[in-house]
């Protein structure tokens, strides 16, 4: 049975009762998907939806019997030969399958999915287990909870679509097994490992709780929130305004765990969940959104959307799901703009036009490769086409049935717009139209009246669309039309008469009595526009026509190849010749290379990205330091940055504006900060300008509050890394019998004692014991481009474990911007940044003092011993690390023992590359006599 509006309201009301008295009440949705609606799509996406059904959904199960056989075989014979996430494949396949059923009445589709669901349910074990692993391992490891999360979601959707009670019952039995394994037992979900994956089951439990009101499912979800603190820490980092890419687990799977926070807000009304969820959404939008509307950089967030790193299809699907939740919670139409961008470009680009395959990686510049080729390690003889992306990609199109038109649940933002017959304002009874293009949806208004909305349109190939509204009887309701932020001027007409008031980036509300046959026409501004690049794409621009990203594909431009583009046009390139460009979705469809970042000159800057103070931060009285993403080195010469501080999130009134800086930070001095009131939120924005124009940082704007109870901040140096102005020193510590630095901040020191220095004088060094000895210094930020770490080192015993750290800034997996590490008797300088980089090793002589320096200058890391360059390695030019400290004698955060027994003296850490002569000079100082 499709869930009705009344059911949902009742569900939320009941949810509060079940959740106990602590919660203030159920959370508010501004917009909700249309449950039980029937959808049809035409136009370019309609063709893709049809191809997906014909060439994937209808054939994948019979071509890949392993999809279900893996469950049948779990306890037969040898250990299953599967990837750890194999249990997700059937759930992901079914989620997109049910979505496709909403968009089609093809009986073959229903029959195919029915066959898969029926056999899947038969394969559920007595205890509720529905994964592919042997009995002794049920739910305890692999990505087994993650797999069950997808199965729970699939069964809930199937139940909603078909009314089959046994699907819901099977989902409940899974959740019951999860509870009997992990709730009020000695085990925690944390113990299952693979945390960002397995903890995502929180989202499935929350959805199932909403459906069933079973209190245990909510309690289990709340227990997982506690486990978050030992893994991804999504709630606390979200409340603290930590950028998502700097959280402990910024991989894409975490996005589904973060969705759990949105659902917990709706269940409990606890504002903390809403704030944390929306913070992570906004952080990815600000810091990691690709020009295709996609997300991820090597399967995770990195804070840099310009690198030519892979954009995985699963990550885009997860990002789209987060955006749909953010739209539900905020009703912000610019989120629907972002979803539209992702759908027409990243999603449609991930699917081959044949419908037979989708990519693993849909790069901004590069080629399209089928996922069953690119990640064929996931394939098995009985499942040649199955991998994480092949089963997940179709969900990107299926999601149209969740955002194209939505139920409007919020009270009207502008009561004056209400015209009509009623004397009192009606309850929210409206629909939001987010999607434009050929389509039809049959649904019911919140009050139960049947209504059909039809669009005749060649959008986005042409610039206009015509909507026909057909209520079953004349009805008063609000229709909210998304006016895209990119459409500078949008013409709207109702039954042929012009309607004024369409504003870019806002909904246009038409509240009236609607009669069958009423029409609305919209004409958008589809002039070609461009977005400039930064970092790796500096000096290049992306071009758009409406929501369509344009790309250059030489084969498409020449009209060669079997697959034809949606559009092919000649675009003017600033500073270059006009170029034939096609839509990004079709680019690469014939196998050739393509580019969506194109060389251009005379560009305005890209939108700057505000970083610190963290959103919502309480800052002490005194000077305030504003940091933002550092532009490409080549941009520093002609780019300027300005700060604007506002007294409201709508950014209407500037209360303070200053700056003229080529790079971060901008510091508001103490006397200027006195113009701001304490205990009041202020919102801030960075504006970036070149001779060719300005760009502003994107909303939502971050805010800060001056807290007069905090000790006043010292007058800060105007430096990004807190470095000393004269010599760019970050930490200077002589270590003469004491770890206290002459410049910088000591966080912690243990397991050390004074020791003779390199020259033999007493108290010339410190000695670390190699057991627990570790000295930790705090830093503002690790230098992303150039730096030098130099010190005197005398190793007194080789580490008994794999690594002994002289210096390490490790803060999480694959994030250590510098380590000087003793490994197999040799000293190496290394960087961990998504992958390993490092110099050759220098043999360690026990008991002998050597002067060691690691110098990073752009893309080169050099290891100096006693003032001589001994080895160099190629490393990334820019390494953005989350490190906020580093340690001597051990790893500052990693739990495993990486201690080193050694003596150390004269530590110098600078935010610049010292010259060879300067390193030689440092090695002369304090040298052994």
Q: Using CB under 5 A as the criterion, what x/- string covers residues 671-690 for binding Zn ion? A: --------------------
Output the smallest distance, CB 92 to Zn ion, in A: 9
Instruction: Give the residue with the Cβ less far from Zn ion, 92 or 819.
Output: 92
Q: Using CB under 5 A as the criterion, what x/- string covers residues 335-374 for binding Zn ion? A: ----------------------------------------
**Which stretches does DSSP call E strand in 691-727?**
693-696, 702-706
| Helices (runs of H) and strands (runs of E) counted in the chain | 23, 45
CA–CA distance, 107 with 126 (Å, rounded to integer): 32
Residue 823: φ, ψ to 5°: -140, 120
Output the smallest distance, CB 374 to Zn ion, in A: 10
Instruction: Give the residue with the Cβ less far from Zn ion, 231 or 314.
Output: 314
Residue 822: φ, ψ to 5°: -95, 120
Output the smallest distance, CB 391 to Zn ion, in A: 9
3-state class of 483 per DSSP? strand
Instruction: Give the residue with the Cβ less far from Zn ion, 205 or 375.
Output: 375
What CA–CA distances, in Å, run from 833 to 812, 814, 880? 10, 5, 8
Task: Determine whether 895 is exposed, middle or buried from the number of CB atoms within 10 Å of its CB (0-12, 13-18, 19+).
Answer: exposed
Structure token digits, residue 234: 């999504």
Instruction: Give the residue with the Cβ less far from Zn ion, 388 or 400.
Output: 388
Q: What is the DSSP letter of 309?
A: -
Instruction: Give the residue with the Cβ less far from Zn ion, 389 or 779.
Output: 389
Output the smallest distance, CB 389 to Zn ion, in A: 3
Instruction: Give the residue with the Cβ less far from Zn ion, 100 or 314.
Output: 314
Instruction: Give the residue with the Cβ less far from Zn ion, 314 or 492.
Output: 314
Q: Positive or negative, the Cα torsion across 106, 109, 114, 115? A: positive
Output the smallest distance, CB 254 to Zn ion, in A: 14
Tell me the CA end-to-end span of the chain in Å, nearest whole number. Answer: 87
Structure token digits, residue 621: 């009285």
Interface residue with Zn ion among 53, 264, 389, 510 (CB under 5 A) is 389
Task: Determine whether 193 is exposed, middle or buried from the number of CB atoms within 10 Å of its CB (0-12, 13-18, 19+).
Answer: middle
Instruction: Give the residue with the Cβ less far from Zn ion, 358 or 687.
Output: 358
If binding is defined by CB under 5 A, does position 479 make contact with Zn ion? no
Segment interacting with Zn ion (CB under 5 A) among 269-277, 386-394, 423-431, 695-703: 386-394
Cis peptide bond prior to 460, omega within 30° of 0: yes
Instruction: Give the residue with the Cβ less far from Zn ion, 170 or 388.
Output: 388
Cβ proximity of 277 and 335 under 8 Å: no
Output the smallest distance, CB 87 to Zn ion, in A: 14
Instruction: Give the residue with the Cβ less far from Zn ion, 360 or 626.
Output: 360
Interface residue with Zn ion among 151, 199, 322, 388 (CB under 5 A) is 388
Output the smallest distance, CB 57 to Zn ion, in A: 18
702-741 residues near Zn ion, rule: CB under 5 A: none
Output the smallest distance, CB 311 to Zn ion, in A: 11
> Total residues contacting Zn ion (rule CB under 5 A)?
3
Output the smallest distance, CB 299 to Zn ion, in A: 8
Output the smallest distance, CB 85 to Zn ion, in A: 9
Segment interacting with Zn ion (CB under 5 A) among 8-16, 314-322, 608-616, 660-668: 314-322
The H or E element spanning position 268 is helix 254-268
The H or E element spanning position 59 is none
Output the smallest distance, CB 360 to Zn ion, in A: 6
Segment interacting with Zn ion (CB under 5 A) among 335-343, 385-393, 428-436, 915-923: 385-393
Q: Which is it for strands 901-910 and 885-888: parallel, antiparallel or unpaired?
A: unpaired
Output the smallest distance, CB 312 to Zn ion, in A: 5
3-state class of 452 per DSSP? strand
The total of other beta-carbon atoms located within 10 Å of residue 505's CB is 15
Instruction: Give the residue with the Cβ less far from Zn ion, 393 or 764.
Output: 393
Segment interacting with Zn ion (CB under 5 A) among 307-315, 595-603, 755-763, 899-907: 307-315
Output the smallest distance, CB 314 to Zn ion, in A: 3
Instruction: Give the residue with the Cβ less far from Zn ion, 375 or 789.
Output: 375
Close Cβ partners of 558 (under 8 Å, ≥ 6 residues apart):
none
Cβ proximity of 883 and 782 under 8 Å: yes
If binding is defined by CB under 5 A, does position 95 make contact with Zn ion? no
Segment interacting with Zn ion (CB under 5 A) among 165-173, 309-317, 629-637, 904-912: 309-317
Instruction: Give the residue with the Cβ less far from Zn ion, 58 or 388.
Output: 388
Instruction: Give the residue with the Cβ less far from Zn ion, 192 or 375.
Output: 375
CA–CA distance, 370 with 523 (Å, rounded to integer): 37
Output the smallest distance, CB 392 to Zn ion, in A: 6
Structure token digits, residue 345: 């470009």
Segment interacting with Zn ion (CB under 5 A) among 100-108, 135-143, 287-295, 389-397: 389-397
Cβ proximity of 906 and 926 under 8 Å: yes
- With b for 16 or more beta-carbon neighbours within 10 A and e for fewer, the 98-114 pattern comes to bbbbbbbebeebbebbe
Segment interacting with Zn ion (CB under 5 A) among 286-294, 380-388, 535-543, 595-603: 380-388
CA–CA distance, 590 with 638 (Å, rounded to integer): 40
Q: How many CA atoms lie within 13 A of 131 on its CB side?
A: 32
Q: State the maximum Cα–Cα separation within the chain, in Å, rounded to a whole number.
A: 99
Q: Positive or negative, the Cα torsion across 556, 558, 559, 561? A: negative
If binding is defined by CB under 5 A, does position 314 make contact with Zn ion? yes
* Closest-CA residue to 357 (of 387, 312, 326): 387
Output the smallest distance, CB 385 to Zn ion, in A: 13
Instruction: Give the residue with the Cβ less far from Zn ion, 387 or 457.
Output: 387
Close Cβ partners of 500 (under 8 Å, ≥ 6 residues apart):
none
* Closest-CA residue to 584 (of 305, 398, 353, 336): 353
Q: Using CB under 5 A as the criterion, what x/- string covers residues 402-441 for binding Zn ion? A: ----------------------------------------
Output the smallest distance, CB 388 to Zn ion, in A: 3
Instruction: Give the residue with the Cβ less far from Zn ion, 292 or 542.
Output: 292
Q: 838 pairs with which residues across the strands?
A: 830
Segment interacting with Zn ion (CB under 5 A) among 184-192, 308-316, 331-339, 886-894: 308-316
By the criterion CB under 5 A, which residues form the site for Zn ion?
Answer: 314, 388-389
């Amino acid at each position: 049975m499709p869930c009705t509006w009344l059911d949902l309201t009742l569900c939320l009301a009941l949810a509060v009762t079940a959740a106990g008295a602590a919660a203030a009440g159920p959370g508010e949705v501004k917009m909700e998907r249309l449950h039980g609606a029937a959808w049809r799509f035409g136009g370019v996406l309609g063709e893709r939806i049809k191809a997906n059904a014909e060439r994937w959904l209808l054939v994948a199960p019979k071509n890949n019997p392993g999809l279900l056989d893996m469950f049948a075989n779990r306890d037969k014979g040898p250990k299953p030969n599967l990837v750890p996430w194999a249990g997700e494949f059937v759930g992901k396949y079914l989620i997109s399958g049910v979505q496709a059923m909403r968009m089609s009445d093809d009986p073959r589709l229903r029959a195919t999915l029915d066959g898969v669901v029926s056999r899947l349910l038969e394969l559920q074990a007595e205890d509720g287990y529905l994964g592919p692993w042997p009995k002794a391992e049920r739910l305890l490891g692999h990505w087994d909870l993650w797999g069950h999360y997808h199965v729970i979601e699939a069964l809930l959707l199937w139940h909603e679509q078909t009314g089959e009670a046994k699907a819901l019952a099977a989902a409940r039995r899974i959740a019951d097994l999860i509870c009997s394994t992990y709730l009020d037992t000695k085990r925690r979900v944390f113990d299952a490992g693979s945390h960002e994956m397995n903890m995502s089951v929180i989202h499935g439990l929350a959805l199932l709780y909403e459906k069933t009101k079973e209190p245990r499912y909510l309690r289990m979800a709340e227990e997982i929130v506690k486990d978050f603190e030992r893994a991804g820490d999504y709630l606390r980092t979200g409340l603290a305004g930590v950028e998502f890419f700097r959280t402990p687990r910024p991989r894409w799977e975490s996005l589904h765990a973060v969705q759990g926070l949105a659902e917990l807000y709706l269940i409990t009304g606890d504002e903390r969940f809403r704030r944390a969820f929306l913070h992570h959404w906004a952080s990815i939008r600000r810091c990691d959104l690709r020009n295709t509307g996609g997300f991820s950089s090597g399967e995770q967030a990195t804070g840099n959307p310009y690198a030519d790193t892979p954009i995985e299809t699963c990550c885009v699907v997860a990002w789209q799901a987060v955006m749909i939740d953010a739209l539900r919670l905020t009703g912000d139409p610019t989120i629907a703009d972002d979803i539209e961008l992702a759908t027409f470009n990243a999603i449609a680009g991930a699917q081959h036009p044949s419908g037979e395959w989708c990519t693993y990686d849909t790069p901004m510049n590069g080629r399209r490769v089928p996922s069953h080729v690119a990640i064929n390690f996931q394939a098995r003889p009985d499942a040649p086409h199955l991998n994480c992306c092949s089963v997940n990609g179709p969900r990107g199109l299926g999601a149209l049935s969740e955002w194209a038109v939505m139920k409007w649940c919020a009270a009207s933002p502008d009561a004056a717009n209400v015209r009509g017959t009623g004397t009192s304002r009606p309850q929210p009874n409206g629909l939001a139209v987010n999607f434009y293009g050929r389509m039809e949806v049959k649904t019911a208004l919140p009050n139960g009246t049947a209504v059909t909305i039809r669009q005749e349109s060649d959008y986005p190939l042409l610039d206009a669309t015509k909507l026909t509204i057909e209520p079953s009887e004349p009805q008063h309701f609000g229709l909210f039309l998304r006016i895209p932020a990119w459409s500078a001027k949008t013409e709207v007409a109702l039954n042929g008469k012009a309607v004024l008031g369409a504003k870019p980036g806002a909904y246009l509300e038409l509240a009236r009595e609607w009669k069958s046959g009423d029409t609305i026409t919209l004409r958008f501004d589809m002039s070609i526009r461009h977005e400039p690049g930064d970092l790796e794409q500096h000096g290049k621009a992306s071009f758009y026509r409406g929501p369509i990203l344009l790309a250059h594909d030489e084969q498409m431009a020449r009209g060669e190849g079997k697959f034809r583009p949606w559009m092919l046009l000649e675009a003017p390139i600033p500073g270059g010749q006009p170029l034939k460009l096609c839509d990004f979705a079709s680019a690469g469809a014939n196998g050739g290379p393509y580019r969506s970042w194109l060389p251009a000159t005379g560009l305005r800057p890209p939108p700057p990205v505000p970083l610190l103070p963290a959103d919502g931060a309480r800052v002490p009285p005194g000077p305030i330091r504003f940091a933002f993403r550092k532009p490409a080195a080549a941009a520093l010469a002609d780019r300027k940055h300005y700060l604007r501080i506002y007294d409201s999130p709508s950014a209407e009134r500037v209360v303070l504006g200053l700056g003229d800086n080529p790079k971060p930070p901008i510091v508001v001095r103490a006397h200027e900060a006195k113009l701001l009131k304490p205990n009041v939120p202020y919102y801030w924005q960075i504006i970036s300008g070149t001779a060719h124009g300005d760009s502003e940082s994107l909303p939502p704007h971050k805010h800060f509050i001056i807290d007069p109870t905090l000790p006043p901040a010292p007058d800060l140096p105007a430096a990004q890394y807190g470095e000393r102005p004269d010599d760019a020193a970050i930490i200077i510590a002589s270590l003469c019998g004491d770890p206290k630095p002459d410049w910088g901040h000591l966080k912690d020191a243990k397991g050390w004692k004074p020791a003779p220095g390199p020259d033999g004088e007493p108290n010339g060094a410190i000695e670390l014991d190699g057991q627990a000895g570790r000295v930790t210094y705090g830093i503002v930020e690790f230098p992303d481009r150039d730096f030098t770490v130099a010190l005197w080192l005398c190793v007194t015993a080789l580490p008994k474990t794999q690594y002994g750290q002289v210096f390490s800034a490790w803060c999480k997996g694959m994030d250590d911007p510098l380590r000087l590490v003793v490994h197999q008797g040799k000293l190496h300088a290394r960087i961990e940044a998504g992958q390993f980089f490092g110099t050759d090793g220098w043999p360690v002589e026990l008991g002998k003092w050597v002067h060691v320096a690691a110098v990073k200058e752009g893309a080169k890391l050099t290891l100096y011993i006693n003032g001589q360059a001994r080895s160099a390695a190629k490393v990334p030019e820019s390494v953005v690390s989350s490190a906020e400290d580093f340690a001597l004698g051990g790893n500052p955060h990693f739990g495993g023992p990486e201690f080193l027994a050694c003596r150390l003296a004269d530590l110098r850490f600078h935010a610049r590359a010292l010259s060879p002569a300067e390193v030689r000079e440092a090695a002369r100082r304090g040298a052994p006599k």
